[in-house]
Structure 1
């Protein structure tokens, strides 16, 4: 499955996004330098829908009641755990390119169309549910009463649409709420699962998904291993599977943040720190529009920075203008961040 369902290899910012996503904030790269944005609210009529089918011989069409086509409401189809491209997607129905044989698991996922909240040119996905009400999707296993947890005989396993997740060991004290402890341990990771007292917990993004669970239970005095398919669900998920590349913030705010990072790097790796006039000021046709603003010097210092070959690190917009009071999208921000890292590696390696 894709990490972000709203990012495509044909997007102009895809290379920068890929480079940034590979950077980790910890030794094990479990937490990325850039993350998606949480959301939990959908536009009416465009909610998230997950349908599971077991095919009959020759089946080619699959009904998705309630699904309405929209560019922000894509559909993914998995056949026996492998993602495939349907021949045709219509309102409430998809059609495969050829008839399927019987007994195959087909999962159709309509990811929903997120709702947004606006504040001037700044807009972001809507988060409505209070944090205390958010819960991980879960399911009670059929042999929950006899669950033996992780034993030396057989490791617990969870597979979602052909992808194996990692078992996350979570220590839970007797006075603690297991759901809250596991939720905190998961964060927004998408690659883990936990089984506690016969209940399997998965990350938010798998809400409504069918999952294959392997676990141990005791029967007639001996430990047995069982695999079963369950659907994990919650009424209040907080999804994290979109990057929202077109969500905006003001350019000046973002550029000042980059300048602070630049100053910090100079202070760490040089004897004298950063001198504001390292390079001649870059020519900006719209500089007069933000002359005297509190961020003017920071922004000018930043955009005047150069690579060793003399080219400018940060791109300008049309007609050599910066327009710092306009909003910057998250995709543009990733481009700036990636160029910043390329500059820092070249400058201080």
Structure 2
């Protein structure tokens, strides 16, 4: 479908997007993915970890026209989520990635994106399109970098000169010809602060992230055990990690979001760890209703909590970890065993010995044995 005045319509889209709360919009042509070989190499190296959907969707990700056959343009819109709040250093409280402090962005951003799509259809009757907010086989960051929206930093997040990287991305595929942007240049230069700041060394090379090492992957996407060698590096991060963005110089230009939905919920900003151990499935779902934190699932989230308690190495963590040793989830019990081994006090060792006598799950028993062995190797406090 053609539009009589592509320039006018494109400017109208930008203006309406700004009214809807998007601070910047990029527009680019639908075509094969410019970095197709990088995606193939990343997948071939297994860096997607257990995210099997990345491989299943690979062919569709390589060209948006495989998602929507008649797609001609991509409108890529950025919505700021930075509340302006900062974290404090308290090992007995959990750190949640700031994008998840408020309401679930999927619903908020998608609603605005669909409103923008309806506006486009009013201006161009008969136009068709699809809206995506981090839920489909669309490489949002790549297409944002192919437009004037921003560039992909060495930490693999999209960065804008106007507001840094604290923003969500929404994409509309359209069967319309629009006026296209020139791609933004890369302004990272020689800076490598994000690479140095990553706690696990997940940024294995500039612009290459090994998800298997990334704390966001470990605490959100990974459904099984967190590798033991990486657990101490997780610290008190119980959902995601922002370290690479926290140190990015471009985030000095960040501004506070005016979107009420992205303001921190009381329970999502530095929550006390101990009570989170006792969250059952129903309470977890109630507490994190309409929150991105639900993606981790109850067992995965409590797994993260007990790892954080272990990393506190505080005697105050022993009582909640004792309760976690009787959790219905073997995943939680196993990580609680490891955590008690990290605290290494007589009470922790006694709890592990008692748990060993009653435990029947082989993987949990292995965790208990490893924790007791670690305890025996450590010097007396």
Relative to its length, the structure with more helix (as a share) is 2
Please tell me the TM-score bracket, short chain as reference.
under 0.3
Question: Rg: which structure is higher?
Answer: 1
Relative to its length, the structure with more strand (as a share) is 1
TM (normalized to structure 2)?
0.24
